[in-house]
Structure formats: structure tokens, C-alpha cells
A and B are shown apart, each in its own frame.
Chain A
């Protein structure tokens, strides 16, 4: 194939896609096609190939296939939501920043989150430590969380969940523990998920 054929075949494909081509290009293509049997063959074959691709249809499926699939998707989503109090807790913290458009690179956010989680975890795990230790760990955790870019909260949550495996630890905590953690760290800010959870059950 001559190098120019490559270009003309691109033009033939472009025309088949309804892309606009310049008048000069169209003329040149016409002239080339008259002289080049290879590109004429290409032009002749192209519709059959595209038709062939379009003809391919999905296999016949058992009745109720899509109903079942939908039910299993919704079931899985419901399970994940209700079994993750720690997500509610962390999202409640994130909710404080939502809409403020803080632009901090996601990486620093992730680090902040991890530090925050680690400190909070340490604090949760040692309820018997002296009050002074608890309160400074608590403050540090809150400061780490303050620095998070909240636009990426979902990404951070996903990464932490997927790679750190912390969700199991947090899911093992009682709702009361979570509440204590949330209210200590987020002060008097309301839980933005409250409404979400309410409308779900309603």
C-alpha cells in the first residue's frame, strides 16, 4: 500500500462516519479512487464491515434475567450502606467542608485522612489512657481531618476501604462508639447523612 493510500483510506472512513471533509480533499479522493483499485476495494468493503459489526446482537437470555440482575444490584447496595457505620461517621466529618471548594491535592488529603484515622483508631483503642493523652490525640486527629480536600472524600473513602481494610474494624464498633468519635471530632456540626438515612427508610 502506498503511503498516500493510507491517507485516502482515512478519508473514506471519515466520510463513512459523516465527518465533514474539505472540498479539496473530496476532489483528491475522487481522483485517487479512479486510479487506485486498492482504495476502491477498501471503499467497497467498508459498508459490509460496519454492517457486520452492527448486526451483532446479544444472545437470547432467560426470562427475568434483567429483573434478577437489578434485584441483586439493589440488594448489594442496601447491604453495603447499612453495614457501614464508619462510612457514615467519616462522611459526617467531610460534610463540614462540602461546598467550600477547598483545593488541596488529593494526595495530601489522603495522607491527612490516614493520619486522622490512625490517631482516631489509637484513641478508640485505648479508652483507658489518661484524659490528657486522649484529648491531644483527639485534637491532632481533628486537625488532620481539617486539612482534607473534601471534593475527594469519596475517593479517599474508597481507597481507605479497599486498601487499608479499616472498614471491618470500624464496622465492629458499636453505633455508640461511632457517635462518640463523630461528635468529639466534628463538634456541633450536624450529620449530613441523617436526612439521607431518613429518606431511605421512608
Chain B
């Protein structure tokens, strides 16, 4: 049902309906911002990029043929923006420290341990090459399938899988070298 509603919004947005554009921004701005934050580790950069992505997407929406779904298309534009941005400005070490939401069901000790692990892993993810990082974030955090990631990154499914596998192995290497594992 949601899918149909979205298709209708996209169709209306293509005809220039501002209400439909607002609905689509509403539905996806948090998700895209979070993704871009994970890629850049900086709130201001993620916000600016998110705005650019939505403006670009809606300026070009008349050329969108819906072959791969609106969400995938958004991720594609967002990923291109993020990769270009990271090429110009790799994340600084100071961008990395983070706040984590704590799960109240966990005991304090376990929560602390997990948080530590998460911050180490997060730092390690930042050290990955840009495209590998995008694959890991899209797969693990954003929950995209390999097929979707392939469309986002404009590569084959096999290529995506290989990039994901290499990224995971590399993450483990980094964490082992830092004596985290």
C-alpha cells in the first residue's frame, strides 16, 4: 500500500505538485540525512548534502522513469554526492566521536562494552576506501539488498558482494591491528 502511495506521490511530483514533493521529503529526509551523516560524520555537512540531494532529485524528477524505485534513486544521488564530497574532503579524526543511544534493556556493563565496540568499529569504517564504506553502510545500516546497492553504485551485484566481503575483512584487520579484537 505504502508503495502505491509513493508511486502516486512521485507521479504528482513529476507534474509539479508541491504537496507531493513535501510528502516525499517528509518521508525520506531523516533516512537520507542519517545515511549522509554516517558517510561524512559531520552534522552540517550531512545537512547541506541532504538538501542538495533533494533539490537535485526534484529538479530532475521529470527524467525519472521509475525503473528502480524512488528510494533507490535517492540513495544513488546521495551516494554520488557523498563520494564526491569525501574525495574533496576525507573525514577528520575529530569528526568521529559519537553519542550512542543506549538500550535500557541492557545491563550497564554490557551497554558500555557494546558502545566501546561500536565506537571502535565506527572509526574503523571511516578508514575504509570510499566505495567500500558506502557498501558497508548501505548494506548493514541502511538495509539495502545487494541488487539495490548495485543500482545505487552502478556496478554488478557480484562487484558489490566482493566489495562488501573485502570491507568486512578489512574492518577485522584494522580492529585486530588496534588490538580491539
Q: Which of B100-118 contact A (CB under 8 A)?
A: 100-101, 114-115, 117-118
Docked CA distance A153–B26 (Å): 28
Closest-CB distance, A53 to chain B (whole angstroms): 4
Contacts of A91 in B (CB 8 A): 62
Pick the interface stretch among B3-11, B52-60, B72-80. Answer: B52-60
Docked CA distance A72–B100 (Å): 28
Q: Are B99 and A59 in contact (CB under 8 A)?
A: yes
Interface string of B1-28 (1 = CB under 8 A from A): 0000000000000011110011001100
Q: Are B172 and A45 in contact (CB under 8 A)?
A: yes
Tell me, yes or no, whether B131 is within 8 Å of chain A by CB.
no
Total cross-chain contacts (CB, 8 A):
128
Q: Are A58 and B33 in contact (CB under 8 A)?
A: yes
Interface string of B30-66 (1 = CB under 8 A from A): 1001100110000100010011001100111011000
Q: A73-B54, A73-B55, A155-B63 are in contact. Are A56 and B15 (CB under 8 A)?
A: no
Docked CA distance A81–B59 (Å): 9
Q: A51-B114, A74-B18, A77-B21 are in contact. Are A56 and B38 (CB under 8 A)?
A: yes
Tell me, yes or no, whether A197 is within 8 Å of chain B by CB.
yes
**Nearest chain-A residue to B50 (Cβ)?**
A69
Closest-CB distance, A187 to chain B (whole angstroms): 22
Tell me, yes or no, whether A50 is within 8 Å of chain B by CB.
yes
Tell me, yes or no, whether A49 is within 8 Å of chain B by CB.
yes
Contacts of B29 in A (CB 8 A): 66, 69-70, 73
Contacts of B22 in A (CB 8 A): 70, 74
**Nearest chain-B residue to A61 (Cβ)?**
B43
Q: Are B59 and A158 in contact (CB under 8 A)?
A: yes
Contacts of B34 in A (CB 8 A): 58
Q: Select the residue from A72, A74, A77, A154 with max chain B CB neighbours within 10 A.
A: A77
Contacts of A151 in B (CB 8 A): 63
Q: Are A69 and B47 in contact (CB under 8 A)?
A: yes
Tell me, yes or no, whether A9 is within 8 Å of chain B by CB.
yes
Q: Are B118 and A55 in contact (CB under 8 A)?
A: yes
Which of B38, B58, B62, B117 lies in contact with A51, CB distance below 8 A?
Answer: B117
Q: A77-B59, A154-B62 are in contact. Are A53 and B125 (CB under 8 A)?
A: yes
Q: A52-B120, A56-B121, A69-B51 are in contact. Are A153 and B21 (CB under 8 A)?
A: no
Q: Are A53 and B100 in contact (CB under 8 A)?
A: no
Tell me, yes or no, whether B179 is within 8 Å of chain A by CB.
no
Closest-CB distance, A69 to chain B (whole angstroms): 6
**29 A-B pairs with C-beta separation under 8 A:** A17-B164, A45-B172, A45-B175, A45-B181, A48-B181, A49-B171, A50-B140, A51-B118, A52-B120, A53-B118, A53-B122, A54-B140, A55-B100, A55-B118, A55-B121, A56-B118, A56-B122, A58-B37, A59-B43, A61-B43, A69-B51, A73-B25, A73-B51, A73-B55, A76-B51, A154-B60, A155-B60, A196-B16, A199-B16
Given contacts A56-B121, A154-B62, A199-B15, 4 further A-B contacts (CB under 8 A): A49-B175, A50-B140, A59-B98, A155-B60
